[in-house]
Amino acid sequence: MTPISGKTKLFATLGHPVTHVLTPQKLNTLFAKRHYDGVMVPVGIAPGQDLATFAASIRVMQNFGGAVVTVPHKTAIVSLCDRLSHRAEAAGAVNVLRREADSSLTGDLLDGVGFVNGLKNAGEVIKDRRIFLAGAGGAALAIAFALAEADAAHITITNRSQDKLDDLTTRLKKSFPDLSISQNGNPDKHDIVINATSLGLRENDPLPVDPAHLHPPMLVAEVVMVPEQTPLLKAASQAGCRTHSGRHMLAGQLSAIFDFLTAE
């Protein structure tokens, strides 16, 4: 790693909690590998606290390059951006934020790209598959759009909040009017089951789906990275399903994150 100096670009992984995040470690390794003078650190801001203060602060930090945005700020940060990529605007969520030379903030959404790349890198096929997606937050928004772009045959979405579920469904239908979409139900008769919620981060979290509905040859996939073997993946393995850990999503978007954050 290049020694930190007055020329070093500063980056952050923004979320709550941040004790589990792996992005700073991965990006710092990539910075060193590509001989880029930058450093990323975790920054914890609890939900309900002032994200606007954070955004205003980084606007005046001339050596601040940008941030990776994680749970629970991916949708709240949208209104603080000056410009958005098409997919971030359509989904209403941001997971990467770049400070431009004029102090403006640009947001993009790469989670879905990373998730789909992770599946493809593992040899999985999305085209014509029936997908069951648990969650309707920022990660779920990104993944749902990326799955639609990858020609999934059908997406069933479930979420505890009906308002968020309706919002995601409406956004998907607007961008992909021919996509087959349904709400709630269970994973039966689906090819791929995805947990796009934060359930599994904490030891006593309930399972995001009922394991009684998991059976081979389903693939059960996670966005939670730590622990790598979440309770859902353990239950899926016990049911005879193939599993796919959350670390694949980060690996699938590392280069895209680097390119976005370091673009001049």
Q: Do residues 69 and 96 touch, judged by C-beta distance below 8 A?
A: yes
Q: Please, where in the chain does CATH 3.40.50.10860 lie? A: 9-109+253-262
Q: What is the pLDDT of residues 207-222, one digit of tens each?
A: 999 999 999 999 999 9
Annotated active-site residue 33? The verdict is no
**Torsion sign, CA atoms 208, 143, 58, 10:** positive
In which residue ranges of the chain is pLDDT below 70? 1-2
Q: What is the CATH number of domain 112-249?
A: 3.40.50.720
Under DSSP, is residue 66 helix (H, G, I), strand (E, B) or coil? strand
Give the strands of the sheet with 192-195, arranged side by side: 180-183, 154-158, 130-134, 192-195, 219-222, 242-244
Q: For 105-132, how does the pLDDT look when each residue is reduced to its tens digit (9 = 90+)? A: 999 999 898 999 999 999 999 999 999 9
- Output the CA torsion sign for 163, 105, 226, 157: positive
* pTM for the predicted model, two decimal places: 0.81
Residue 1: the pLDDT is 61
Rounded to the nearest 10°, the torsion over CA 168, 124, 86, 94 is 70
CATH number 3.40.50.10860 is the correct assignment for the domain at 9-109+253-262: yes
What 3-state class would DSSP assign to 207? coil
What are the φ/ψ torsions at residue 203 (nearest 5 degrees)? -60, -35
Model pLDDT, residue 84? 97
CATH 3.40.50.720-classified regions of the chain? 112-249
Catalytic residue among 9, 26, 33, 74: 74
Cβ atoms < 10 Å from Cβ of 170: 11
* Residue 26: per-residue pLDDT: 94
